[in-house]
Amino acid sequence: MKNHLLLSALLLFTILTHAQTTKTVGTGGDYPTLKLAFDAINTGSITGDITLYIISDIADDNTATLEASYAPASYTSVLIQPSGSPPSGHWTLTANINGDMIALNGASHVTLDGQIGGSTWESNLYMVNNGAEAPVNGKALRFEYDAHHNLITFVHFESNCQMDAGAVFFGIPAGAGIGNSNNVINQCDITKTPSGQLFTAISAVNHPDNMCNTIVYCKIYDWLFHGINLPSSCGRGWSIEGNSFYQTSPFPSAA
């Protein structure tokens, strides 16, 4: 029954992402970085059902922030997906930033799908933040200010985030009761960068409006602090199942 409900949710996200506006992001594209593409959405320069195709590796040390669809932004859905034939099998978004690579600030109906064409069943999009290790730095993706009904699927995340923050982080709700809720993290790989130490993969701010999120069929590995860290006062309705938690090498010595 739960698998049927998940499939229905994924189909709903697919229906919501029929594109009316299509832009390319990367070398030779409409926008060289994802930040500039999000800026265009935030200012209302592109509207409606929006598809952003990643067409190359991108290095950018600026946070790509997508705001809620509320004037001047005006979108129904946003799909971000790799395209083309990357030589290594995947495009990589790389940052060296003491903050977030992508921030969804109240954004909803956003799909970050790491599959080329949405059908490869593998991660063709890597997000790597090499930002300096600190308790709140180096995040790859942050949900903030009531980001809701978003789908993150088949993305490979690497980050230096540690302690009580996470590579994927559910941050501060706006306080309107919607919260960072009804988001789905599906079949993603979440791990530390090679230089990472006390890594945490997924975490949330201790707030009751962080609720009703789903984390399923992900590979969460080489975490040395938390795999998933949900404080006791997070809201109800989280669904966490079918995930794999493991280490690819022994823990470092405590000496």
pLDDT value of residue 56:
97
Region of residue 129 (phi > 0: left; psi between -120 and 50: alpha; otherwise: beta): beta
Same domain, 122 and 140: no
Same domain, 112 and 31: yes
Same domain, 140 and 208: yes
Reported as a single tens digit per residue, the pLDDT across 218-248 is 999 988 778 898 888 888 899 999 999 999 8
| Distance (Å, whole) CA 76 – CA 74 | 7
Amino acid found at 95? A
pLDDT value of residue 17:
44
- What separation in angstroms does the CA of 114 have from each of 119, 174, 176? 10, 28, 31
Task: Give Cβ neighbours of residue 39 (< 8 Å, ≥ 6 apart).
Answer: none
pLDDT value of residue 19:
42
* pLDDT over threshold 70, residue 252: no
Q: How many structural domains does the chain have?
A: 2
| Distance (Å, whole) CA 47 – CA 50 | 7
User: What range defines the domain where residue 209 resides?
Assistant: 132-146+158-178+191-237
* Residue 249, in any domain of the structure: no
| Distance (Å, whole) CA 222 – CA 248 | 6
CA end-to-end span of the chain, whole Å? Answer: 48
**CB-based contact 222:247 (threshold 8 Å):** yes
* Residue 83, in any domain of the structure: yes
* Residue 142, in any domain of the structure: yes
Same domain, 120 and 165: no
| Distance (Å, whole) CA 250 – CA 229 | 21
| Distance (Å, whole) CA 93 – CA 192 | 15
Dihedral of CA atoms 229, 218, 167, 175 in degrees, nearest 10, equals -60
